[in-house]
Amino acid sequence: MDNIKNKKLLIVDDEEDIRNMLDGFLRKEGFNRIYHADNCAEAIKMCHLVKPDIAILDVMLPDGDGFSLLSSLRQISNLPALYLSARGEDEDRLLGLGLGADDYIVKPFLPRELLLRLTAILRRVYSPPQQEQPPVFHLGTRIIDLGSGTVQSDDKLLPLTAKELKLLFKLYVNRNRIVTSDALCQAAWGDDYYGFENTLMVHVRRIREKIEVIPSSPQYLQTIRGLGYKLLVEEEFR
Amino acid sequence: MKSTVRILKHFIGATMFISAFLVFFNFLLLGLMVFKGMNEGQSPSAVVENVAENLQFSSNRYSLDSSAATLLKQQRAWAMLIDDAGQVKWDYMLPNELPKNYTLTDIAKFTKNYLMDYPVFVWEHDQGLLVVGYPRESIAKYEYTLSVNWVSLLPSSIVALILINIGLALFLSLVIGYKLVHSIRPLTQGIQFLSEDKETFIQPKGILADLAQSVNRASTLLQKKNKSLKSRDEARSNWIAGISHDIRTPLSMVLGYASDLEESFYISEEQRRQAGIIRQQGEKLRSLVNDLNLVSMLEYEMQPLNKKPMRLSVLVRQIATEFLNNGLDDRFIIEIDISDERVQVNGDERLLSRAITNLIQNSINHNPDGCLIKLQTTTNAKNNSCSFILVDNGKGISQNELPNLLELPYSTKRKHPSQNGHGLGLPMVDRIAKAHQGVLLLSSDIEKGFRAEIVLPYIYMN
């Protein structure tokens, strides 16, 4: 985490007030190597000079637009970039992301949102890829291990099929939130809900037989009529 | 193209009718004339018959009834009776130059033709042959000889004649009609283009040159008007887009510093609360600016649509789930009723989901005491449309207020300012429906709940 705060940030915006505000927030959050540029030319100069680790770019700059600036920056270094623009039209957003920007935030923005997205990019790009541990969680007395695909009850170990695993994974990622039948079918079969209604119902019943104490009156995997399903998991303190 | 075919059809029909009518009329007239000519006064054969009947022979004397005599006088005709030996036995007003006896050859000749240029007619009489003569050059005699074969073929010949006539008339009308259509086709095409709001130019030539020029003038006029309308709309929309763009940067500062203060530990809790209010109002302003921009783009048809086929039911479930997952108050109950899973619309997902979200949010905003919100999808096979319907059992709105809800706020058409929210929500839904060739229908009354229906053209999933 600390080495993320040591990364070099380049802010390119022609509004000095915005630059100063961003500078203030980021310094308060622990970033201390922040560089400013107020036009494209200077941004390219800074890129050569300090070799920033990430760039926050405005789209409308006095001597060009942020889209062509990103293309030029990418020729120097493969740094990640985040657009911070007052232009919120879909085309601009798509153009920016299409050019390979890592995110596109429309002004006005909340500083916290910017900070979260920025650190997410930095972590993704610069942190060593961690082996994501497949989740293991408790439902009452049973332990569901999505890594090995098993349900451990008091006396026996029940295996989960591939589809059941995919469904449970989707439900667990969105635990305590409703997941629509469409999203579940998309996750398990890569297709829409239409045509899979019955198959989905059968799979849900089989999952309940494995994870519920009384499958006919489910306690954890609940049906939300007309919408989909919801997996109730008590958050554990780890 | 359809209209030219129709014109040609009409033209041929009219021509055929006119020819048929002319032929019929002429035949009628001819028949009448012949009939009249044959019956002008007393027909010669009637006269000669009359005279023969009224010429009595008794006690070696011939006497002509006075009525027959008057008849002859009226016709300025003469009469004679020739006996079997060829001698004239009796006569009446017989011209002097005529001989008094005739050979068989003479009789045969004048029966067929003329007797010394007098047209004569004969009738059989007890005492011989009665001859009635008319003045020279008063009557023409004709004689027809027709072969039996010809007469027996007459019905089919008449039919053939009529058919040939019809064919000829059809051919001529086709040729003339084609030429006419050919000359007006550029015009019809031009007018069709005008009605489709396309630019058109017709080479002005032929008899319809001035008409072509008028069409050209109308076209340029329309194009000019369209252009100026479009540029005005564009200017308005760009103006709003520009304003919303320029508001965004200062608003960033307001939001940024306000939310920073809200989390600051150096100021009192009261001040943090106030900073929170600034932040909330700033966010409201942000959504207002964004909505204003979107509505203006939709209003002036400048919003690009990212259309793709999608199932309405999936969209509805997704939005309802979002509301529920984001902590919808327990006082609100959302019910889903999907009639046909297969209903698809070709639409911009972001805009359509915005429209449905706005409708649900509208029900929530106007019913702080909570209500039941029913979401339905239906199809109408009759006009290939499908509907998203929202029905709530909340407090509703007076019927005469309904049309007002779809007008843009601040416009002259909107009589009362909106009471809750910025008033862009429903106009936006209306504009989004229109951008998808659909329509938004509202119905409500006080304490009767609120019903909104978005009708969209649908495509069936195969």
- Domain locations along chain B: 2-38+145-189, 44-133, 211-299, 307-460
Which residues in chain B are closer than 8 Å to A88, comparing Cβ atoms?
248, 290, 293
Compute the distance between CA of residue A216 and CA of residue A220 in angstroms, rounded to an integer.
Answer: 12
How would you list the strands of the sheet with A221-224, edge to edge? A178-180, A228-231, A221-224
CATH class of B211-299: mainly alpha
pLDDT for the residue B41 = 61
pTM (predicted TM-score):
0.65
How confident is residue B373, by pLDDT bands cut at 50, 70 and 90?
very high
Query: Which residues contact residue B36 at a Cβ distance below 8 angstroms, ignoring those fewer than 6 apart?
Result: none
pLDDT for the residue A150 = 87
CATH architecture of B307-460: 2-Layer Sandwich (3.30)
Q: Check if the beta carbon of residue B322 is closer than 8 Å to that of residue B360.
A: no
How confident is residue B183, by pLDDT bands cut at 50, 70 and 90?
confident
Residue tagged 């006539």 (tokens): B165
ipTM over 0.95: no
Query: B89 — contact with chain A (CB < 8 Å)?
Result: no
pLDDT for the residue B356 = 94
Question: Could you tell me how many CB contacts below 8 A there are between chain A and chain B?
Answer: 92
CATH architecture of A136-231: Orthogonal Bundle (1.10)
Per-chain mean pLDDT for chain B: 85
How confident is residue B421, by pLDDT bands cut at 50, 70 and 90?
low
Q: Check if the beta carbon of residue B137 is closer than 8 Å to that of residue B76.
A: no
CB-based contact B255 A109, cutoff 8 Å: yes
Closest-CA distance, B292 to chain A, in angstroms, reads 13
Decide which of A130 and A81 is more confident: A81
Query: B248 — contact with chain A (CB < 8 Å)?
Result: yes
Count Cβ atoms within 10 A of the Cβ of residue A31 and give its class: 0-12 exposed, 13-18 middle, 19 or more buried.
Answer: buried
Closest-CA distance, B225 to chain A, in angstroms, reads 29
User: If you write DSSP's letter for every residue of A201-225 in order, what string do you get?
Assistant: HHHHHHHHHHH-SSTTS-SSEEEET
How confident is residue B243, by pLDDT bands cut at 50, 70 and 90?
confident
Decide whether A2-126 matches A136-231 in CATH topology.
no
Q: Check if the beta carbon of residue A102 is closer than 8 Å to that of residue A81.
A: yes
C-alpha count within 13 angstroms, C-beta hemisphere, residue B385? 15
How confident is residue B415, by pLDDT bands cut at 50, 70 and 90?
low
- Domain locations along chain A: 2-126, 136-231
pLDDT tops 90 at residue B433: yes
Query: B325 — contact with chain A (CB < 8 Å)?
Result: yes
Residue tagged 């942000």 (tokens): B286
Compute the distance between CA of residue B288 and CA of residue B299 in angstroms, rounded to an integer.
Answer: 16
Which residues in chain A are closer than 8 Å to B259, comparing Cβ atoms?
110-112
CB-based contact B314 A192, cutoff 8 Å: yes
**Out of A18, A111, A178, closest to residue B321 by CB:** A178
- Cα B402 to its chain centre, rounded Å, is 36
Residue A163: both structure tokens together: 């589809």
Residue A150: both structure tokens together: 């098993």
How confident is residue B142, by pLDDT bands cut at 50, 70 and 90?
confident
Q: Check if the beta carbon of residue B461 is closer than 8 Å to that of residue B310.
A: no
Q: Check if the beta carbon of residue A89 is closer than 8 Å to that of residue B297.
A: no
Q: Which fold does the domain A2-126 belong to in CATH? A: Rossmann fold (3.40.50)
pLDDT tops 70 at residue B161: yes
Which residues in chain A are closer than 8 Å to B311, comparing Cβ atoms?
192, 194
Which residues in chain B are closer than 8 Å to A87, comparing Cβ atoms?
245
How do residues B87-104 score in pLDDT, each as one tens digit?
Answer: 888 888 888 888 888 888
Compute the distance between CA of residue B394 and CA of residue B405 in angstroms, rounded to an integer.
Answer: 17
Mean pLDDT of B46-74: 83
Mean pLDDT of B429-457: 91
Q: Check if the beta carbon of residue B417 is closer than 8 Å to that of residue B409.
A: yes
How do residues A96-136 score in pLDDT, each as one tens digit?
Answer: 888 888 999 988 888 888 999 998 898 888 877 666 677 88
Q: Indicate the SS3 state at residue B386.
A: strand
Percent of residues, chain B, with pLDDT higher than 70: 95
Neighbours of B359 (CB within 10 A): 26
